[in-house]
Structure 1
Amino acid sequence: MSEWLTREEALGRLKVRPQTLYAYVSRGRIGMRPDQADPRRSQYRADDITALATRRARGRSPQAIAESAIAWGEPAIATSISTIVHGRLVYRGEDAATLSAAITLEQTASLLWAADAGVSFGSKEPSDGSKSGRAAAFTNLARLAAEGRPSLGRLPAMLYQDAAGAIGALAAALGAVAGSGAVHERLARGWSVGGAGAALIRRALVLLADHELNASTFAARVAASTGAPVAACLLAGLVTLSGPRHGGAGEAALNLVEDAERLGADVAVGRWLGHDRPLPGFGHQLYPEGDPRADALLADIEVDGGLAHLRDAVLAATGTRPNIDFALAALTRNLRLPSDAPFRLFALGRSIGWTAHAVEQVTSNGLIRPRARYDGPVSRL
């Protein structure tokens, strides 16, 4: 649970006057609630105060700000697409977990793309189940990227039209059957999954649609800042997602649970930690109290014994809770999906966010080109 501080404690940690503290609260930078013991007094969220104090201690030098922005630090790019506020993922002002209970990926795209009309990811090409998956996704997007028109100077509506066609091709490559219906239903048919399973796939895709400025989204924005075709921006995101520390974490979580079933959960967790390997599927720096995406998806999934024992062992050993990668592993086992289904779902869902960020970057008309801090040998010239 969050720690809450009294006014005096908050002022002491920040070393500011009361009016400055109130200004932070009014701007939404510090959470506040009535004191449960005395409603006439207020309490302030400790996590927010710690983050502010850390930023103040770092100073405001350009180098300090730039270096702190690279890894979980200061916000580096302005966006109106999504954010994370007090442990909740928000899509254009709407709670993503709440949205995922009812809407489709197409409706999520309409929201994140600020579209005036409905969005469809239809595909006329039938998928070949034997050739679907990661390799087909890369091949399809690479072909479209090579043939695509540069994005600079084009209206957002045209860019979104390009994206819808590319995402339709991506969906077919990842296993969705041909057609114009909702992509989660077509993907479920491709995987021979019934209605209840299709609803779970729908919810997973919506929860994965965007996640602020993660690594793959940043890569897509960098590509967009150069004026690359929309399909090339999606390919940049897909390439970055393929790493084991990003979109590969769901498959790694499946490997971890297999180790836990073979060796016992406590032994498997101990071995992974003993080899200084992060536990895939658990913990997230942006969600210290638990990943709300995982909670939303797991609420409708019957977690099997192997995953339950692993979850309990990790909590006992590290105190960390399941994240979205654990939930995708649970979904994969529950529906008996292909072993790479976590990556497929991640890629298809996140393509919506990659598109939104790419178009936002193009319309900002700015090139992303940070400087490096050189620490190599110095020439005597």
Structure 2
Amino acid sequence: MSEWVTAQEAMTRLRLKPQTLYAYVSRGQIEARTDAVDPRRKLYRAADVARLEYRKARGRRVATIAEDAIAWGEPVLASSIATIAHGRLWYRGRDAEILAKAARLEDVARLLWACGDARFPTQHGPIPPGNGQERMFAVIAARAASDPVIAGRTPKALYFEAASVLDALVDAIAGSPGEGPIHQRVACAWGCDARGAELIRMALVLLADHELNASTFAVRVTASTRASLAACVLAGLSALSGPLHGGMSRRVRAFLDEARRDGVENAVRSRLETGAPVPGFGHPLYPEGDPRARCLLSAFALPAEFEEVRQVSEAITGELPNIDFALTALASSLHLDDDVPFQIFAAARCTGWIAHALEQFQTGRLIRPRARYTGQQPMLDGEA
């Protein structure tokens, strides 16, 4: 039996539509590679198809369903904050791409926090030395260690604290206290002109929330213990720092280094041959393309090397750029430091983290899932 099968055979065996097959590939459930005989066609690993075919035939146990839901699976909790539907991102029913045309991050924060016309007071605190990422962790960790827990706080007090935490994070990014719109504060700190500030504003709005991703889930678990808002944001910041989440821009830059050294086409094909994805392309939740990347990339001209990588990667893989590629390209276009994409991501997503923390507080429930034990079976006294 061949190790690889065609798309038609895979769809027939699994009774899938083309877009569903693509989603399986994007989620890493079916490995795909380019056909050596016909580069325009993809082949799919037969073992992956057989595994899914078997699972469909035998049905799925409750424990298996619950475990699969954690990784790009079915929704695991209710939320009215954001959703992904019809290939678009929606904040409380409003299209994020449309909001990105004119809204500021503060406007989106009010929308996500459901706090109407709440003001954003500035409370300047000490800012430690270090680079942007070091300052962010230091400032939020200090607040997490000292801020009061949530029990007994009024909604007005919570919103005031939310604005204060966000303001502290922005001050840490900027390196000094400031006033005015968030995008202008960080743009000024980074030496950007009005055009750069506008692009940063768009990126902040597009990244404000993304449903129940890894960092947001960490925030909700922390919030379910009634920890302070700063502690919740620290949990999100920690999860965001990982290379598979907010640290993806480092992988995009590493791939660009490979492309410079080996040529773009060789770099792309080398990744595919090892079964690794091309960093910055494709997204499991957006089979037709990441709308956040589409919106941001339409607002500025890509640097030449990014444009070449985009064209070659799309031609070979059929996958479109995602927000990690767009954010890394934006930082390059504005001649900003390598850690700026992470800082933009953190400042923006802080608004979503706080929204989810506030929503979780309202449920009054502790998030405490069970593990499916796979270790050595316990033995009672006297058992052989």
Fold equivalence (TM over 0.5) = yes
Equivalent runs, 1:70-149 vs 2, <5 Å: 70-120=70-120, 122=122, 124=124, 131-149=130-148
Q: Against the structure 1 CA distance between its residues 210 and 121, is the aligned structure 2 distance closer, same or farther, given a 3 Å change threshold?
A: farther
Equivalent runs, 1:211-250 vs 2, <5 Å: 211-250=210-249
Equivalent residue number for residue 63 of structure 1: 63
Amino acid at match of 1:188: A
Is 1:251–1:343's contact at 8 Å kept on the other side of the alignment? Answer: no
Is 2:19–2:287's contact at 8 Å kept on the other side of the alignment? Answer: no
* Displacement after TM superposition at 1:45 (Å): 11
Structure 2: distance between partners of 1:229 and 1:371: 25
Equivalent residue number for residue 28 of structure 2: none
* Displacement after TM superposition at 1:317 (Å): 2.3
* Displacement after TM superposition at 1:56 (Å): 9.0
Is 2:120–2:160's contact at 8 Å kept on the other side of the alignment? Answer: no
Structure 2: distance between partners of 1:127 and 1:289: 43
Is 1:132–1:175's contact at 8 Å kept on the other side of the alignment? Answer: no
Q: Deviations over 1:124-150 (max 9, x none)?
A: 35868x733111111110000000111
Normalising by structure 2, we get a TM-score of 0.82
SS of 2:174's partner is: coil
Structure 1: distance between partners of 2:109 and 2:247: 24
Structure 1: distance between partners of 2:199 and 2:280: 18
Q: Is 1:302 aligned with 2:301?
A: yes
Amino acid at match of 2:154: L
Amino acid at match of 2:183: H
Structure 2: distance between partners of 1:119 and 1:256: 42
Structure 2 gap segments, 5+ residues each = 1-14, 25-52
Equivalent residue number for residue 192 of structure 1: 191
Percent identity for Structure 1 against Structure 2: 49
Aligned length: 338
Is 1:177–1:187's contact at 8 Å kept on the other side of the alignment? Answer: no
* Displacement after TM superposition at 1:275 (Å): 4.4
Q: Against the structure 1 CA distance between its residues 119 and 272, is the aligned structure 2 distance closer, same or farther, given a 3 Å change threshold?
A: farther
Structure 2: distance between partners of 1:119 and 1:223: 26
Q: Against the structure 1 CA distance between its residues 223 and 375, is the aligned structure 2 distance closer, same or farther, given a 3 Å change threshold?
A: same
SS of 2:83's partner is: strand
Structure 1: distance between partners of 2:358 and 2:189: 30
Equivalent residue number for residue 3 of structure 2: none
Structure 1: distance between partners of 2:125 and 2:340: 21
Equivalent runs, 1:324-343 vs 2, <5 Å: 324-343=323-342
Farther off after superposition, 250-259 or 306-315 = 250-259
Farther off after superposition, 168-177 or 320-329 = 168-177
Is 1:250–1:329's contact at 8 Å kept on the other side of the alignment? Answer: yes
Equivalent residue number for residue 315 of structure 2: 316
Equivalent residue number for residue 351 of structure 1: 350
Is 2:199–2:299's contact at 8 Å kept on the other side of the alignment? Answer: yes
Amino acid at match of 2:281: F
Is 1:226–1:367's contact at 8 Å kept on the other side of the alignment? Answer: yes
Structure 1: distance between partners of 2:333 and 2:58: 47
Farther off after superposition, 335-344 or 170-179 = 170-179
Q: Against the structure 1 CA distance between its residues 313 and 307, is the aligned structure 2 distance closer, same or farther, given a 3 Å change threshold?
A: same
Equivalent residue number for residue 277 of structure 1: 276
Q: Deviations over 1:78-133 (max 9, x none)?
A: 000000002100000000011011000000001001112244263535868x7331
Amino acid at match of 1:86: H
Q: Against the structure 1 CA distance between its residues 58 and 67, is the aligned structure 2 distance closer, same or farther, given a 3 Å change threshold?
A: farther
Q: Deviations over 1:176-203 (max 9, x none)?
A: 6532200100100000100011000000
Is 1:177–1:186's contact at 8 Å kept on the other side of the alignment? Answer: no
Over the aligned positions, Cα root-mean-square deviation in angstroms equals 2.7
Amino acid at match of 2:116: D
Normalising by structure 1, we get a TM-score of 0.82
SS of 1:300's partner is: coil
* Displacement after TM superposition at 1:271 (Å): 3.1
* Displacement after TM superposition at 1:278 (Å): 2.9
